[in-house]
């Protein structure tokens, strides 16, 4: 499937790719065509088999903050605000959704299946003196380390970190708060300074944090030898505004069948608010750096077939 990788009617920005079993799952926000603001009151999940990356399947709605025709709200009594930029991780056979709700306290959902649906487990539990972002946890990204410890990275113009208690997956451990794990000070160069869109990965013995810097159409990355950082800026992976109407970007890296990819989104419909999921092949070099790649029409393909129609 060329870029965008999902059908032309679907808008999934802020994509977090995760491999569970024999499928790759894409979790993200949900935009709509011709809308005048970002995101929606629901989340959707798409997946593809690892041996057929052009065959994406929609699993439907996975989480809601507002009733719709077919579903009751999953956050009834808590909030009916919009959902932005979720992440999903697996721990001990359960799948946990970390949902950022605009202007409201963040929540954790749980499911027995990677596609959901996810049922509300709890709002985050934390000591306000030992956590950042006023309990909202903007664009939270979660990492389960090899030893079973669980870390969360989050913030809007603040690069925050906490450790999560794996016994319940929503309580933040006292004394674990760190800021800034990536430089978010006014003294940092614009192309390096943290803005939002935290996405952690561990590759070998190195911790990577993919994020949106203050040059808003880029996805940058930083590395550390410790999960709590500090993370050092290493460069940027992709810029969705080169020779194209750019805008905010959010995504992450994923290894599928031995090939590394960057999942990201690009603007469509002459607006920054109808964003579609895209992917490019990348390399991770022996020194840990990721060479910048161009935004292309290729998606998972090496080339486009000359006699095949593409949208």
Q: Kindly give the residue spans of alpha helices, DSSP state H, lying in the chain.
A: none
The bridge status of strand 83-91 relative to strand 57-64 is unpaired
Is 196 annotated in the active site? yes
Task: With CA atoms as reference, report the closest residue to 203 among 91, 89, 291, 287.
Answer: 287
Catalytic residue among 115, 196, 239, 249: 196
Task: With CA atoms as reference, report the closest residue to 86 among 138, 151, 164.
Answer: 138
Which single residue is written with the structure tokens 């870390």?
A: 151
Q: How many C-beta atoms surround the C-beta of residue 215 within 10 A?
A: 18
Task: With CA atoms as reference, report the closest residue to 65 among 95, 50, 86, 37.
Answer: 86
Beta bridge partners of 224: 207
Query: 71 — phi, psi (to 5°)?
Result: -135, 145
Could you tell me the two tokens for 135?
């309990």
DSSP sequence for 224-248: ESSTT---EEEEEEEETTTTS----
Where in the sequence numbering do the catalytic residues fall?
A: 14, 196
């Amino acid at each position: 499937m060329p870029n965008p990788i999902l059908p032309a009617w679907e808008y999934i920005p802020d994509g977090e790719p995760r491999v569970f079993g024999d499928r790759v799952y894409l979790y993200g926000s949900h935009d709509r065509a011709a809308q005048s603001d970002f995101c929606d009151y629901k989340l959707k999940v798409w997946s593809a088999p690892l041996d057929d990356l052009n065959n994406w399947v929609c699993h439907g709605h996975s989480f809601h903050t507002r009733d719709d025709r077919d579903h009751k709200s999953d956050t009834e009594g808590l909030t009916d605000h919009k959902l932005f930029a979720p992440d999903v991780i697996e721990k001990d056979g359960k799948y946990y959704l970390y949902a950022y709700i605009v202007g409201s306290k963040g929540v954790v959902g749980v499911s027995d299946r990677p596609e959901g649906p996810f049922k509300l487990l709890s709002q985050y539990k934390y000591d306000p003196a030992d956590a950042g972002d006023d309990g909202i946890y903007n664009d939270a990204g979660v990492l389960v380390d090899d030893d079973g410890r669980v870390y969360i990275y989050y913030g809007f113009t603040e690069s925050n970190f906490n450790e999560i208690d794996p016994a319940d997956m929503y309580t933040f451990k006292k004394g674990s708060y760190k800021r800034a794990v990536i430089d978010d000070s006014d003294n940092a160069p614009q192309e390096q300074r943290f803005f939002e869109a935290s996405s952690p990965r561990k590759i070998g013995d190195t911790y990577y944090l993919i994020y949106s810097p203050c040059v808003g159409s880029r996805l940058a990355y930083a590395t550390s030898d410790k999960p709590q950082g500090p993370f050092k800026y290493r460069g940027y992976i992709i810029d969705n505004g080169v020779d194209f109407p750019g805008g905010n970007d959010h995504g992450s890296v994923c290894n599928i069948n031995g090939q590394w990819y960057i999942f990201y989104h690009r603007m469509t419909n002459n607006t920054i608010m109808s964003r579609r999921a895209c992917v490019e092949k990348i390399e991770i070099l022996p020194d840990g750096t990721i060479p910048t790649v161009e935004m292309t029409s290729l998606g998972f393909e090496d080339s486009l077939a000359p006699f095949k129609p593409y949208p």
